Amino acid sequence: MAKFIIHGGKKLSGAISVNTAKNSAVALLCASLMIHDEVVLYDVPRIEEVFRILEILESIGVDVTWRDEYTVHVDSSKKLTMEHIHKKATEVTRSSLLLFGALAARERIYKIYKSGGCRLGARTVKPHVFALQKFGVSIESKAKYYEVKNVPLKSAEVVMYESGDTPTENAIMAAVLAPGLTTIKFASSNYMVQDLCYFLNSAGAKIEGIGSTTLTISGVKKLTTIKKYHIMPDPIEAMSFIALAVSTKSSLTIQNCPLDFLELELEKLSVMGQKFSLKNKRVSENGKFNIVDIVISPSPLRALPDKIYGRPFPGLNIDNLPFFVPMLTQAKGRTLVHDWVYENRAIYYLELQKLGAHITLLDPHRVFVEGASQLKGNELMCPPAIRPAVAVLIAMLAARGKSVLRNAYPIERGYENLALRLTKLGADIIREE
């Protein structure tokens, strides 16, 4: 496994551009199975999570071609061979659950191996099951796989058992090809859900209420080819670079940021005393999202007066919460971080103790972070979850001295050429196999 070797404590400078969204890319690739024709996706991130989804698609008979470095041509017009599904790729990425919705109108009976992804404690599939069964989809859990049985889809009145991103995406995909009118309430309105809706509408779907928690979907008989769709920029990657600038007290410009999904995070930072400015406001390549460049300036930080926690959009993004931990180590005072969503993600924040951070675990969901701390280098194993892993990496870049972060695969699931990109900002970081 790859590792990062870091000599931290250096001021960074310059600009870094945000790549496209991992969670959008995997959803759109899976949704391409609903289109019995060609789909051409632009700005596809070259990351491990995307590679795993492409392996799955190819294994079941989909023609996948990289037209250039970041453009993928997908043709799923042939009969699928679900019995050949790539077992290993399915098991290592939880995004494979998106096949439930993508295949709801296409395959009668098939199985999907149970998936892994980030190790964040118990992660139930019940929200997927409860939503999809209303359309006629049956999902039965076996020891090592899910057995899926589909009947002709029917429209439904769906109240999401949980406002999760992936369960909502599965419900949307089923509804798009279900005859009649479907209403989905308590839907996630997060960035990847919106991107999926715009993608499907460009293929002829009829989805209304995009960006809200109530979606109205009129089912269509078929979807048509998509010759060009640009995936949106990743607000989570944007926030990780913001956290890097803040934690290292550096002057950085983070380019290509989807502002609507970062405004609350920026407001929290403003209350902490962080100075920043928004430049070059524009619209994304797909014409659907507001984009800005964010200029971060070194600022003395103070702890938040209230606890900080994630919640479904439009709250502070659940995936962005871990990035506040390294920033809070540099803020004067004590802040309560409440990571209520996952059973054990807060445990990973204790890894920063090994770098000199003052973090107290209150229970499996809550920690106190006390600053400001002088961080120092150390050698650690990468937490087996993308966002906590990147939080540790950010802290290492802020810490004085040498650090080694082993088993970097979790980071490379979601970040492309990260060491090289950070080196261009002045970071002393090397990736080694």
My answer on whether 216 and 274 are in the same domain is no
My answer on whether 28 and 11 are in the same domain is no
* 125, pLDDT greater than 90: no
Q: What is the pLDDT of residues 29-84, one digit of tens each?
A: 999 999 999 999 999 999 999 999 999 999 999 999 999 999 999 999 999 999 99
Q: What is the pLDDT of residues 162-216, one digit of tens each?
A: 999 999 999 999 999 999 999 999 999 999 999 999 999 999 999 999 999 999 9
My answer on whether 195 and 159 are in the same domain is yes
Q: What is the pLDDT of residues 330-347, one digit of tens each?
A: 999 999 999 999 888 999
End-to-end CA distance of the chain: 6
My answer on whether 213 and 245 are in the same domain is no
Q: What percent of the chain has pLDDT over 90?
A: 91
pLDDT value at position 143? 85
Of the CA atoms within 13 Å of residue 330, those in its CB half-sphere come to: 28
Number of domains in the chain: 2
My answer on whether 50 and 151 are in the same domain is yes
The residue with tokens 């261009």 is 424
My answer on whether 326 and 291 are in the same domain is yes
Q: What percent of the chain has pLDDT over 70?
A: 98
My answer on whether 249 and 396 are in the same domain is yes
Query: Where are the alpha helices (H) located in 235-310, listed in sequence order?
Result: 235-247, 263-271
My answer on whether 259 and 140 are in the same domain is no
Q: What is the pLDDT of residues 228-274, one digit of tens each?
A: 999 999 999 999 999 999 999 999 999 999 999 999 999 999 999 99
Domain of 391 in residue numbering reads as 3-19+233-432
Closest-CA residue to 197 (of 180, 172, 228): 172
User: CA dihedral defined by 265, 267, 269, 275, rounded to 10 degrees?
Assistant: 130
pLDDT value at position 421? 97
My answer on whether 173 and 264 are in the same domain is no
My answer on whether 397 and 274 are in the same domain is yes
Contact 42, 230 (CB under 8 A): yes
Chosen domain end from 182, 210, 230: 230
pLDDT value at position 122? 47
User: CA dihedral defined by 176, 82, 29, 122, rounded to 10 degrees?
Assistant: 90
Helix, strand, coil percentages in the chain from 3-state DSSP, rounded to 5: 35, 30, 35
pLDDT value at position 116? 60
* 118, pLDDT greater than 60: no
My answer on whether 259 and 188 are in the same domain is no
Q: Which CATH number belongs to the domain containing residue 90 in this structure?
A: 3.65.10.10
My answer on whether 251 and 151 are in the same domain is no
Chosen domain end from 167, 200, 230: 230
Q: Is 333 buried (19+), middle (13-18) or exposed (0-12) by CB count in 10 A?
A: middle
* 141, pLDDT greater than 80: yes
Q: What is the pLDDT of residues 277-299, one digit of tens each?
A: 999 999 999 999 999 999 999 99
Average pLDDT across the chain, whole number: 95
Chosen domain end from 189, 212, 230: 230
